[in-house]
Amino acid sequence: MSKFKTTFYTIETGKIPGLKRPWRLALLADLHNKSYGPDNRLLLEEIRKNHPDGILIAGDLIISDRKKQEVHKDAAYQLLIALAAEYPVYLGNGNHEHRMREFPDSFAGEYDSYIRMLRSCGIHTLVNGHLTQQIGGALVTIYGFELDFSYYKRFTRKPFAVTCLTDALGTPDPGHYNILIAHNPVYFPQYAKWGADLTVSGHLHGGIIRIPGIGGLITPQAKLFPKYDAGYFEEQGRSLIVSRGLGSHTVNLRIFNPAELIFIDITNRQEDITK
């Protein structure tokens, strides 16, 4: 698994009417400390070639193993530092980063070092946080939601209410274009209802094995044929993009399921341009 594919999506919105050209965001998820070439040179070259305006990180760039009390992180940290030197980076945690935070004694306090590293290189660390900025004269808010580890248990799906989001993040302003970084896509209906115009996720690694015409086989929670396995989904007029991820761990297997780097072009809805 030394290659990845590059996938492009275009999302139209009427909320950023001043956009004169697409606002391009790269989406990286589930690198799990993999390096494509020395110092992730191949991944960085592909990102540079496509000239993004910013980078969304949807979690699990590292591997944390609680039983072995290990964190595999060097390639991931190095990549983040390199990206932050060239682009605005908006980062949300996955379950592997959350595990470090939740169980500091198992990881020799590595989470604190991780946060220090992110801050020292100017990465927007959105761990149940948000950032609002002007894009094309409109206000865009990027949220990062950290799902509690109790929602990641195998063979279960814990009920999840929209209030879990409002408690963690507040209520989004419907006048803003609201982007939600949420590592686990399984609660997309709730993310949409909460008010995320665009949710970006990963976590499922494309379902490990992709069956042509059907989709991804299995989730990390051992659910078969997950609905939001990979790609683009739309509900309630809101969008979800799920990355197949860039790496793997534990089950180091991908069948008909290449790793992927994603670019998302956010554009003005056509009827708004021609007005």
Question: Which chain residues interact with Fe ion by CB under 5 A?
Answer: 60, 94-95, 203
State in angstroms the smallest separation of the CB of 16 from Fe ion. Answer: 30
- Comparing CB distances to Fe ion, the nearer of 135 and 218 is 218
Say if CB 116 and CB 51 are below 8 A apart: no
Determine the angle formed by the axes of helices 74-84 and 110-120, rounding to 10 degrees. Answer: 20
State in angstroms the smallest separation of the CB of 3 from Fe ion. Answer: 21
Distances (CA, A) of 41 to 47, 118, 124, 150: 10, 20, 23, 36
State in angstroms the smallest separation of the CB of 201 from Fe ion. Answer: 9
- Comparing CB distances to Fe ion, the nearer of 262 and 266 is 262
Determine the angle formed by the axes of helices 41-49 and 74-84, rounding to 10 degrees. Answer: 30
The structure tokens listed for 87 are: 């682009």
Say if CB 59 and CB 183 are below 8 A apart: yes
- Comparing CB distances to Fe ion, the nearer of 19 and 127 is 127
State in angstroms the smallest separation of the CB of 175 from Fe ion. Answer: 32
State in angstroms the smallest separation of the CB of 142 from Fe ion. Answer: 20
The structure tokens listed for 142 are: 């990027």
- Comparing CB distances to Fe ion, the nearer of 23 and 107 is 107
| 245/223 Cα distance (integer angstroms) | 18
- Comparing CB distances to Fe ion, the nearer of 54 and 94 is 94
- Comparing CB distances to Fe ion, the nearer of 147 and 266 is 147
When CB distances to Fe ion are compared, the closest residue is 203
State in angstroms the smallest separation of the CB of 133 from Fe ion. Answer: 27
CA dihedral 203, 32, 140, 23 (to 10 degrees): -110
> Which strand (E) or helix (H) includes residue 24?
strand 23-28
